[in-house]
Amino acid sequence: MSAPKLEAIFGAPLVCNQYDLADALRRENEARILREDSGLDSDEEDVELEDPVEVPLHAPPLPAPLASSTTSALTGLAKKNHKKRERQRTKRRESTVAAMNSPTPPVPAPHVLEKAAASTSINVAYSANSFRATKQCWVGPTKPFEHPLLAHAADAEFLKQHMPYFDWDGIESHVLVDCHGRSIGLLVGVPEMFADVIEAASDACRAAREKMLFPASAYIHRRASGPGFPTSTRGFGFGTGRQTVGNYKACSRTNEAAMGELLANDAVNRAATFPIPAFQAVCWNIFSDYHATKQTLLNQNPGLHRTFERSPFAAVTANLGPFSVSPPHTDGANKADGMCLITALGRFNADKGAHLVLWDYNFIIRFPAGCSAFIPSAVVTHSNTPIADDEERFSLVQYSAGALLRWVDNGFKSDLTWMASATPADLARREENRKARCAAALKKFSLWKDVKVKNFSGRGRVEVWDQGDIADFNDLTEEEDSDVEEPPRKKRRM
């Protein structure tokens, strides 16, 4: 169909001739690569870091479970069984928190592996070989994927007709699988009985925004489209000129208190941590990296702010709406071979708007409230489609900055500090470690056939990394034609 006919049907795309987004992001990407390769801190972070905390701060207490409205109506055996189930839930909850606070990454529970193996895959016409990262492989670029339909990013109906569309019901869970069988995304659905939790979490986000104070400039940033939306971040990171890892700084004490209250809300906790077990089962290598880094830094400095007790991510940003919709972008400061977790909340018609668009994958997904998605946001351009004026959408985004893992790898030093005392032998070892890290990048993404047989850690594989100023994720040494993991054959006795 020709361009004039498309415009006659769908209308001409809205294009701002005074600002070239692709050119701006391309120049930003070149500056990032130069800073990364020069050993300078990344300027990607939108939030300022606090000064180093000397007095340890105590983690907020685990929120109490939501009171059940049916408890008082139960009598006799039914009431006794209800109390027994509540005790069992509390015990499991405490056990999970203890495991997540351990330095050793907890392995997925058997029932979680069963659920992951029972999930269905969605084949994506894409190869993880095409993922892009800076030469050091800690963070991703900000250069957007040059998709021919970027001008129609705000038109959900147009995209649904011109891109593969997945009409997700938001209940079942699915794994996005590339053409080599790697798990490059995860959609985690929620049961219908979760509706009250989603509504309560959405109410908590709205209440938090009403308590916070923001300047007009807080609504306009590169991750906001339309009228924009304010954000609030809690957790810790590294960069923005600081010499050590520090907490993300709130705009004011009022906003900090409101954010703490939001994260302590039980419904918000449940919505934000419900997808984590699936992350363990499907993306174990990435999960274990994040967990080990977070616990190492928390043990070294108890003054760092926690987000959720049951989350391996170092930070969470609450997009406080009411119009939390993002244009096509990458979150280049996140770990290049990692994932971030996006949880959608609010009240909107998921058939009409708020779709998740993964431009590198050429894929658009219906993304209802309460559902979550794990995507490699540092290397995949993503966006949302707009919602109606009378609707509202919030989101919780959990992530770990690539600079945190680099800080730990440097022996708890910045690149500049490490370089200042490095010997030629140190530099040689650093280069070998870089090559090994790059070579192992693809192995972070589990094979779907491993997930199907509950082999969450994955079998041994060898990857080849094509080096350069912009490196590609390459896996040139393994043929993966089979979709089923075959058990080893038993040897016959002679």
In a domain, 198, yes or no: yes
pLDDT of residue 338: 93
Q: Quick check: 380 and 358 in contact, CB under 8 A?
A: yes
This prediction has a pTM of 0.78
* Cα–Cα distance for residue pair 401/223, rounded to 1 Å: 17
pLDDT of residue 14: 40
Quick one: DSSP state of residue 396?
A: E
In a domain, 259, yes or no: yes
Instruction: Return the SS3 of 342.
Output: strand
Overall number of domains in the chain: 1
In a domain, 75, yes or no: no
In a domain, 91, yes or no: no
In a domain, 77, yes or no: no
* Cα–Cα distance for residue pair 357/366, rounded to 1 Å: 9
C-alpha distances in Å from residue 188, one per residue of 319, 343, 357, 366: 20, 9, 16, 12
In a domain, 93, yes or no: no
Instruction: Please report, for the domain that includes residue 299, its CATH number.
Output: 3.60.130.30
pLDDT of residue 234: 95
- Cα angle vertex 331, ends 325, 335, to 5°? 145
Q: Quick check: 374 and 339 in contact, CB under 8 A?
A: yes
In a domain, 486, yes or no: no
In a domain, 453, yes or no: yes
Contacts of 42 (CB under 8 A, 6+ apart): 32, 35, 36, 139, 239, 332, 333, 402, 403
DSSP H/E element including 269: helix 266-273
pLDDT of residue 18: 44
List the chain pLDDT tens, one digit each, 494 residues: 444 444 444 344 444 444 454 555 455 556 555 555 554 444 444 555 665 544 344 444 444 444 444 455 777 788 878 787 777 777 766 666 666 666 688 899 999 999 999 999 999 999 998 888 877 778 887 777 889 999 999 999 999 999 999 999 999 999 999 999 999 999 999 999 999 999 999 999 999 999 999 988 888 888 888 888 999 999 999 876 678 899 998 889 999 999 999 999 999 999 999 999 999 999 999 999 999 999 999 999 989 999 998 999 999 999 998 999 999 999 988 998 999 999 999 999 999 999 999 999 999 999 999 999 999 999 999 999 999 999 999 999 999 999 999 999 999 988 888 999 889 999 999 889 888 888 888 889 999 999 999 988 875 443 333 333 334 444 333 333 334 334 445 545 54
pLDDT of residue 35: 54
pLDDT of residue 268: 97
pLDDT of residue 346: 96
* Cα–Cα distance for residue pair 395/29, rounded to 1 Å: 26
Nearest to 265 by CA among 460, 416, 63: 63
pLDDT of residue 141: 76
Q: Quick check: 384 and 179 in contact, CB under 8 A?
A: no
Q: Half-sphere exposure of residue 17, counting CA atoms within 13 Å on the CB side?
A: 0
Residue 295 belongs to domain spanning: 1-50+113-478
